[in-house]
Amino acid sequence: MSFADNDFLRQLPKAELHLHLEGSLEPELLFQLAERNGVQLPYANVEALRAAYQFSNLQDFLDIYYQGAGVLQTEQDFYDLTWAYLERCAADGVVHVEPFFDPQTHTERGIAIATQLKGISRALADGQAQLGISSRLILSFLRHLSEDEAIATLQEALPLREHFVAVGLDSAEHGNPPEGFVRVFDMAREQGLQAVAHAGEEGPADYIWQALDLLRVIRIDHGVRCVEDPVLVERLIAEQTPLTVCPLSNTKLKVFAQMQDHNILQLLDQGVKVTINSDDPAYFGGYMLANFVAVRDALDMTREQAIALARNSITASMLPEVEQAVWLAKLDEAA
Ligand code: ADE
Ligand code: ZN
């Protein structure tokens, strides 16, 4: 199979480890849900909404992303959102997903965490049964809100503990360092939850150190600014801490001016355990396969690098080793 042909990239078994379910809300579904729920939108139609997806930085994007999430109201809405994402995964050769949801975006609007979780979980179960896609869900705290609000969110979610396996930290990074969330992450870990955190997307390398040492995360979401601190890069290599990198997101949000400037393959070649992910694909121009294709085309990714990235996604996942082994064997066949 030719490497220039997207089918090679599509058939590689891949895990998606950095995906905000709310960021997979396509304009078409957004408009359908607005109509179903009687929500007035400040855009005339799908085209006008898509045209507004021009961002200079993370905050520009977050403003429109939180506004869009306002159409999600019922359990069925959360089901439909999650199911649509899983169908995209199936089309792209994604075999395992570890998505985030942002409960506070919805509890602020009076929507109970139980409503959110039941819809998402039912879709994830159908994804396993009907599409063969396994999953683990991550509950993510909004770092622009206070730690006390994160604690209240965790407490509301704990009776539904069987629906999620980890906590995360996302939203506006500047001025909201990981060190402000130590207590809530400690509480989560006491409950047997794993931890991940966005760090080093727009924020400095120091936030990556904090996420590692204070929040004790198993992965760093983004992390591309690690290169500003060579000692940190050495540590990431030594400990094989995965970075869930999101190439299209990083160019849309101007973390890198253009894909040719992206550092993902340099990090890979240095021995950092990087993975490819889509972050908020409805806003950034594509799902998993589009991210692989963009990296291949802009950075001359080789077949071997593509396979290494897919391998990293499997071994960086929370799947048990016996399940990882099945996908790794398939990747060996592709090599
Ligand atoms: N929420 C959704 N996407 C995000 C991103 N790329 N960074 C921080 N918070 C987010
Ligand atoms: Zn993200």
Which of 61, 63, 174 to mutate for ligand 1's pocket (most ligand atoms within 8 Å of CB)?
Answer: 61
Q: Average pLDDT, stretch 35-54?
A: 97
CA distance 200 to 208: 6
Q: Is the pLDDT of residue 177 over 90?
A: yes
Q: With 70 as the cut, is the pLDDT of residue 1 above it?
A: no
Residues in binding site for Zn(2+): 18, 20, 198, 279
Predicted confidence (pLDDT) at residue 201 exceeds the cutoff of 90:
yes
User: Which ligand 1 atom sits closest to the C-alpha of 201?
Assistant: 7
* pLDDT value of position 327: 98
Known binding-site residue numbers for substrate? 280
Q: Which CATH class is domain 6-334?
A: alpha beta
- Entry pTM: 0.98
Confidence band (pLDDT; 50, 70, 90) for 260?
very high
User: Smallest Cα–Cα separation from 249: which of 287, 302, 204, 197?
Assistant: 287
3-state SS of 30-45 is: HHHHHHHHCCCCCCCC
Residue 2, pLDDT score: 62
Both tokens assigned to 35: 């109509």
pLDDT of residue 4: 79
| pLDDT 10s digits, 214-228 | 999 999 999 999 999
Annotated binding site: 18, 20, 198, 279-280
**What percent of the chain has a predicted confidence (pLDDT) above 70?**
99
Would you say 135 and 125 are in contact if contact means Cβ atoms under 8 Å apart? no
Q: Count Cβ atoms within 10 A of the Cβ of residue 251 and give its class: 0-12 exposed, 13-18 middle, 19 or more buried.
A: buried
> For residue range 265-318, what is the model confidence (pLDDT) as tens digits?
999 999 999 999 999 999 999 999 999 999 999 999 999 999 999 999 999 999
Quick count: other Cβ atoms within 10 Å of Cβ 30?
Answer: 23
Mutate to test the pocket of ligand 1, among 58, 66, 176 (most ligand atoms within 8 A of CB): 58
**What residues does each domain of the chain span?**
6-334
Residue 310 and residue 252: Cα distance in Å, rounded?
23
Is 201 known to be catalytic? yes
Cβ(68) to ligand 1 under 6 A? no
Query: Is the minimum distance from the CB of 286 to ligand 1 under 6 angstroms?
Result: no
Determine the Cα–Cα distance for residues 7 and 30; give it in Å rounded to an integer. Answer: 30
Going by alpha carbons, the residue nearest to atom 1 of ligand 1 is 171
CA of 22 to the centre of ligand 2 (A): 11
Residue the block writes with tokens 């931890």 = 195
Looking at residue 335, its pLDDT comes to 85
202 CB near ligand 1 (under 6 Å)? no
Element (H, E) at 77: helix 75-92
pLDDT the model gives residue 115: 98
CA distances from 95 to 38, 46, 127, 132, 314 (A): 35, 30, 10, 7, 9
| 86-125 residue pLDDT tens | 999 999 999 999 999 999 999 999 999 999 999 999 999 9
Q: Residue 140: CB within 6 Å of ligand 1?
A: no
The residues, any chain, with a CB within 8 Å of residue 285's CB and separated by 6 or more, are 248, 252
